[in-house]
């Protein structure tokens, strides 16, 4: 049995999956001040009458880190950066970084040594500091300077946590790595406390199954590993729902998925069975980070969106004033329209009709008004999807072949999950002339996603055969490359070995390795080739542990 818990902003969903089916599903209100209590309440309700010894895994998607940052409940971080010469970093990184001399160039050569004396001086001025982040330009090409500074901090300060830029991301972008490292350090202590509480509470309930945490990229990692990378668990709500779509539908063709919740609709794109990733990374509190996420667009439209008239014209969302009037809420909502149109069966239909009648004109039936609300809501979603499609088509590519034969994203299928999906997804699909599907358990897709997400990890390997060196930033290592004439295939193999190494440390099995990107370039001096530069990204293939049978999906074909 697999347990998935998704702590959302308003509600927490939990599912128990057994025999390829959702055996139990529960929904409890989220207590933003006490997430642990929320998790345990959901867990206790879920496990009534269940033998806890049958639980194989508990996976958690939590807003803890997001909330901590939004509410400013973070630790002060001693942030040291080694920007070297280049663009101005001021205003682009949070906190008040201390600049050390020392930098690495784009080939990974140390051009100036780390300013350890400056570090010692700075440390004397912050004797109480226990949490640190260290980030250097091009540290992904050579993590040595970051390592030296971290080691020196370790000797001088008895730190609780030092997060290095290269360890949180193997990708280029000094500013994003710096910010990832900063936030990782800033939420570190809070996450330790939460993780400790969760472990203790589960042990008390005699649940000895391993605990996993969902990451923003839709994979899970064991709680023990997550403790070192808490920033990865930011924004996992949308990731959970995307994973849920994968578990429930396995979209093989190009698809658009909509997670239509209470206040927002999250839009994601799918290509050959996998969701598309954001090319850059998540933004936290206005700062760009290197946290990998799905390419998602969130719009302020959901079942609870407030519907009103402004000089006769319908206005929908993005504000939420409360639940639907059908459920005793204060103002008319999209859900009320869906209830009136018989596209949704919740609450009191009479109250929903009363809600919609508030928005009707004389001579216009409440059914017509409900239809108007539903169409306008669908139109808002369609506009957002179209904008996202246009952005996708306009994303830069760097090869001639990709311009001449563009790999266009043209969705064929629309998948709806979340509370408002049954009502709205078919209408949007009709507007876009797409087939549609709303799978069974669509209401708890997020919790299913958390329950079923596979453990994943990734690493980046860059080999420079002229310099006879290679680096794996996530592991903080730079080593001699013995074979000057090594090939891309060998580099891929080497990357696989290091991924295996990282997975072993993290306690994750490696069933399937997937190459996420690779590059091979010649290095030429004068007119002769002196070496090659290889960059390879590999990951444990993300996905789901078991398919849920979703025979009861609602589907619609093209008219």
Q: How many residues bind other proteins (CB under 8 A)?
A: 39
| Count of residues in the chain | 559
Region near other proteins per CB under 8 A, out of 16-24, 84-92, 180-188, 221-229: 84-92
- Check binding of 172 to other proteins (CB under 8 A): yes
Using CB under 8 A as the binding rule, whether residue 549 contacts other proteins is answered as no
One symbol per residue from 281 to 320: x for binding other proteins (CB under 8 A), - otherwise; what is it? -------x--------------------------------
In terms of CB distance, is 90 or 204 closer to other proteins?
Answer: 90
Q: Is 476 exposed, middle or buried (0-12, 13-18, 19+ CB in 10 A)?
A: middle
Asked if 403 interacts with other proteins (CB under 8 A), we say yes
Counting contacts by CB under 8 A, is residue 73 touching other proteins? no
136-155: which residues touch other proteins (CB under 8 A)? 137-138
174 binds other proteins (CB under 8 A): yes
E strands within 422-464? 435-438, 458-464
Rounded Cα distance between 524 and 442, Å, is 55
Closest separation in Å from C-beta 285 to other proteins:
15
Distance CA 196, CA 211 (A): 11
Write the DSSP symbol of residue 524. Answer: E
Q: What is the DSSP string of 23-76?
A: EEEEEEE--TT-HHHHHHHHHHHHTTT--GGG--EEEEE--HHHHHHHTT----
Which position among 19, 49, 72, 85 is part of the footprint of other proteins (CB under 8 A)?
A: 85
CA pair distance 203, 199, nearest whole angstrom: 6
Question: Interaction with other proteins in 376-395: which residues (CB under 8 A)?
Answer: 394-395
Cβ 406 to other proteins, closest distance in Å?
9
Residues numbered 231 to 250 that lie near other proteins (CB under 8 A) are none
Using the minimum distance from each CB to other proteins, give the nearer residue, 87 or 200. 87
91 binds other proteins (CB under 8 A): no
Provide the minimum distance between the beta carbon of 138 and other proteins in the complex, in angstroms, as a whole number.
Answer: 6
Distance of alpha carbon 550 from alpha carbon 90, whole angstroms: 51
Residues 6+ apart with CB under 8 A from 162: 132, 133, 134, 150, 153, 154, 185
**Nearest residue (CB) to other proteins, 280 versus 541:** 280
Q: How far is the CB of 72 from other proteins (least distance, A)?
A: 24
> In this complex, which beta carbon is closest to other proteins, that of residue 165 or of residue 302?
165
In the set 53, 73, 87, 155, which binds other proteins (CB under 8 A)? 87
Contact between 495 and 421 under an 8 Å Cβ cutoff? The reply is: no
* Residue 509 found at the interface with other proteins (CB under 8 A): no
Contact 440, 132 (CB under 8 A): no
- Residue 175 CB, shortest distance to other proteins, in Å, is 4
**354 membership: H or E segment, kind and range:** helix 349-357
Does 362 participate in binding other proteins (rule CB under 8 A)? no
Kindly state whether residue 399 participates in binding other proteins, applying the rule CB under 8 A.
yes
CA 3 to CA 54: how far, in whole Å? 11
Least CB distance to other proteins at residue 87 (A): 4
| Phi, psi angles (nearest 5°) of residue 230 | -60, -30
Q: Using the Cα atoms of residue 163, residue 166, residue 171 and residue 172 in order, give the sign of their dihedral.
A: positive
Beta-strand relationship, 458-464 and 469-472: antiparallel
Does 396 bind other proteins (CB under 8 A)? Our answer is yes
**Closest CB to other proteins among residues 29, 86:** 86
Does 517 bind other proteins (CB under 8 A)? Our answer is no
SS3 state at 384: helix
Binding mask 105-124 for other proteins (x = CB under 8 A): xxx---xx------------
Of residues 407-466, those binding other proteins (CB under 8 A):
none
Segment interacting with other proteins, rule: CB under 8 A, options 52-60, 334-342, 368-376, 518-526: 518-526
**Residues from 268 through 287 that contact other proteins (CB under 8 A):** 280
Give least dist CB 38 to other proteins, A.
Answer: 35
CA distance 240 to 382: 23
How far from each other are the two terminal CA atoms of the chain, in whole angstroms? 41
- CA-CA distances (angstroms) from residue 209 to 3, 68, 200, 216, 436? 10, 27, 13, 23, 37
Piece of the chain touching other proteins by CB under 8 A; list 143-151, 230-238, 493-501, 527-535: 527-535
**Nearer to other proteins among residue 28 and residue 276 (C-beta):** 276
Q: Stretches 73-81, 221-229, 443-451, 514-522: which one binds other proteins (CB under 8 A)?
A: 514-522
Separation of alpha carbons 196 and 204, rounded Å: 12
Q: Which long-range contacts (CB under 8 A, 24 or more apart) does 273-276 make?
A: 273/246, 274/542, 275/218, 275/242, 275/245, 275/246, 276/392, 276/409
Phi, psi of 543 (to 5 degrees): 165, -160
- Pick one of 400, 408, 489, 552: the residue that binds other proteins (CB under 8 A): 400
Applying CB under 8 A, the residues found at the interface with other proteins are 85-88, 92, 105-107, 111-112, 137-138, 172-176, 280, 288, 394-401, 403-404, 519, 521-524, 526-529, 533
């Amino acid at each position: 049995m697999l347990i998935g818990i998704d702590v959302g902003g308003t509600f927490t969903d939990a599912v128990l999956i057994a025999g390829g089916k959702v055996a139990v599903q529960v929904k409890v209100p989220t207590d933003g001040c006490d997430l642990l209590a929320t998790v345990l309440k959901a867990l206790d309700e879920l496990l009534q009458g269940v033998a806890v010894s049958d639980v194989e895994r508990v996976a958690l998607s939590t807003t803890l880190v997001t909330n901590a940052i939004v509410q400013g409940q973070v630790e002060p971080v001693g942030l040291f950066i080694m920007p070297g010469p280049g663009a101005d970093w001021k205003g682009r990184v949070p906190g008040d970084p201390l600049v050390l001399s020392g930098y690495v160039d784009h080939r990974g050569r140390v051009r100036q040594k780390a300013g350890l004396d400056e570090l010692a001086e700075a440390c004397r001025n912050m004797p109480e500091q226990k949490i640190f982040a260290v980030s250097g330009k091009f540290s992904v090409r050579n993590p040595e300077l970051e390592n030296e500074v971290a080691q020196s901090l370790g000797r001088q300060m008895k730190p609780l946590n030092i997060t290095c830029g290269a360890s949180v991301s193997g990708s280029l972008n000094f500013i994003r790595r710096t910010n990832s490292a900063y936030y990782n350090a800033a939420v570190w202590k809070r996450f330790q406390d939460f993780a400790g509480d969760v472990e203790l509470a589960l042990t008390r309930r005699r649940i000895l199954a391993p605990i996993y945490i969902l990451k923003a990229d839709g994979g899970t990692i064991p709680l023990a590993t997550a403790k070192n990378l808490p920033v990865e668990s930011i924004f996992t709500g949308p990731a959970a729902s995307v994973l849920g779509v994968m578990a429930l539908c396995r979209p093989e063709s190009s698809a658009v998925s909509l997670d239509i919740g209470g206040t927002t609709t999250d839009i994601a794109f799918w290509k050959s069975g996998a969701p598309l990733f954001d090319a850059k990374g998540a933004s936290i509190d206005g700062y760009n980070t290197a946290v990998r996420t799905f390419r998602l667009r969130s719009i302020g439209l959901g079942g609870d969106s407030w519907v009103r008239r402004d000089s006769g014209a319908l206005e929908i969302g993005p504000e939420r004033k409360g639940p639907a009037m059908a459920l005793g809420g204060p103002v008319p909502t999209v859900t009320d329209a869906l209830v009136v149109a018989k596209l949704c069966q919740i609450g009191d239909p009479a109250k929903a009709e009363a809600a919609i009648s508030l928005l009707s004109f004389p001579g216009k039936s409440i059914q017509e008004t409900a239809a108007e609300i539903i169409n306008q809501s669908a139109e808002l979603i369609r506009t957002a999807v179209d904008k996202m499609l246009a952005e996708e088509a306009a994303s830069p590519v760097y090869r001639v072949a990709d311009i001449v034969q563009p790999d266009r994203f043209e969705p064929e299928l629309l998948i709806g999950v979340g509370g408002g999906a049954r009502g709205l997804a078919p209408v949007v699909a009709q507007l876009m002339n797409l087939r549609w599907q709303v799978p069974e358990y669509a209401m708890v897709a997020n919790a299913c996603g958390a329950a079923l997400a596979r453990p994943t990890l990734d690493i980046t390997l860059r080999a420079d055969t002229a310099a006879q060196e290679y680096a794996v930033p996530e592991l903080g290592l730079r080593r001699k490359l013995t074979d000057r004439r090594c090939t891309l295939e060998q580099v891929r193999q080497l990357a696989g070995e290091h991924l295996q190494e990282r997975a072993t440390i993290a306690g994750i099995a490696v069933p399937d390795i997937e190459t996420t990107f690779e590059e091979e370039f010649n290095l030429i001096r004068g007119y002769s080739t002196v070496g090659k530069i290889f960059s390879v990204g590999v990951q444990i293939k993300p996905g789901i542990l078991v398919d849920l049978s979703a025979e009861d999906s609602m589907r619609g074909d093209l008219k």
